[in-house]
Amino acid sequence: MKLLFLFLDGIGLGENDPEKNPFTRAKMPYLNSLLGGQTLIQESAFFEGERATLLSVDPNLGVKGLPQSATGQSVLLTGINIPAELGYHYGPKPNPEVAQYLDGKTIFAKTVNAGKKAALLNAYPPRYFDGIDSGKRLYSAIPQAVTNAGLPLFTQADFYSGRALSADFTGEGWREFMKLDDSPLYESEEAGRKLAELAGQYDFSFFEYWASDYAGHKQDMDWAIRQLETFDSVLKGLLEAWQAEDGLIVLTSDHGNMEDLSTRKHTAANVPLLLFGEKNIRREFQKDISDLTGIAPAIFKFLEI
């Protein structure tokens, strides 16, 4: 059984308010159909359908202050209530106190130690590695966990050869912002099918989408809506290619942000946990999950590690 972890940064379950919540304005017919005609907002959770389950999950973890990326992502990767142990939320990049949890305790490390195959399916451009090598850029929690587990980060060569996907799914950003006019370009549904193909090669795979958090900080409604509509098509391609009996797709986030564009800051909103797969597998997976700490243990149990 395989598990694909789809991580959408800064996605909370917001209010039914089109003035500030792009989820109420974006046209997402595929996801809405999976949720029985509902949109991805707080009042839609809990939901269980034939192909999807939606839960509302607490990212605050009993700690004062707004949830942050480094601690939130590290909790998702370990199942440890790191903000409670440290006494604070922290981000965006891990400080030394947070980073210590990302060595040997993560899903990536435990999957590798169990003799199973794991990968982060994102491809990183040359300038990313240049920044890391020069010391001008620090790893965020997810690539830090990957490299600590002895796994490679995929490169431009991997993207060009079809072994990885760009962070925006389609590859448009590589052409528009990095001016790599020969880079691969996928239609949205095609990108979803490609994601399913890549995930099928691993016991545990992870895809990180960070532009959602960026749109939240920029309070950019138009961009947020375009992202969500593109993602809906990606999800359609992914689930049409994914065989439910082969495993589970888990989609969640580290904190709220994009669901409330009235503020540049993160929010205290609960985050969605979307599960796609056979109903009995979804029911077993969700049993003990009420906050971010429950997700990694459920993955360990699912992968039998």
Closest CA to 204 of 270, 267, 133, 112: 112
Residue that is written with structure tokens 């969700």 in the block: 286
Domains annotated on the chain, with CATH: 2-303 (3.40.720.10)
SS percent in the chain: helix, strand, coil, step 5: 45, 15, 40
- Let me know: does 103 contact 38? Beta carbons within 8 Å: no
What phi and psi values does residue 284 have, to the nearest 5 degrees?
A: -65, -40
| Residues 276/93/225/295 CA torsion (nearest 10 deg) | 20
| Residues 37/39/43/45 CA torsion (nearest 10 deg) | 80
- Model-level pTM? 0.97
Per-residue tens of pLDDT for the chain, all 305 residues: 999 999 999 999 999 999 999 999 999 999 999 999 999 999 999 999 999 999 999 999 999 999 999 999 999 999 999 999 999 999 999 999 999 999 999 999 999 999 999 999 999 999 999 999 998 999 999 999 999 999 999 999 999 999 999 999 999 999 988 888 899 999 999 999 999 999 999 999 999 998 888 888 999 999 999 999 999 999 999 999 998 888 999 999 999 999 999 999 999 999 999 999 999 999 999 999 999 999 999 999 999 99
- Let me know: does 212 contact 12? Beta carbons within 8 Å: no
pLDDT of residue 215: 86
Q: Which amino acid is at 140?
A: S
What does the buried/exposed string (b/e) look like for 11-32 if buried means 16 or more CB atoms within 10 Å of the residue's CB? Answer: bbbbbeeeebbbbbbbebebbb
- Let me know: does 105 contact 96? Beta carbons within 8 Å: no
- Total count of residues recorded for the chain: 305
pLDDT of residue 29: 98
Residue 275 β-bridge partners: 53, 250
Cis peptide before 96 (omega within 30 of 0): no
Q: Where are the alpha helices (DSSP H) in the chain?
A: 29-34, 69-78, 82-86, 96-99, 107-113, 126-134, 141-148, 156-160, 172-176, 188-199, 211-218, 221-241, 279-286, 295-303
pLDDT of residue 178: 86
* Structure tokens given for 119: 């990968």
pLDDT of residue 213: 87
pLDDT of residue 192: 98
Mean pLDDT, the chain, rounded, equals 96
pLDDT of residue 179: 86
Residue 49 burial (10 A CB sphere; 0-12, 13-18, 19+): middle
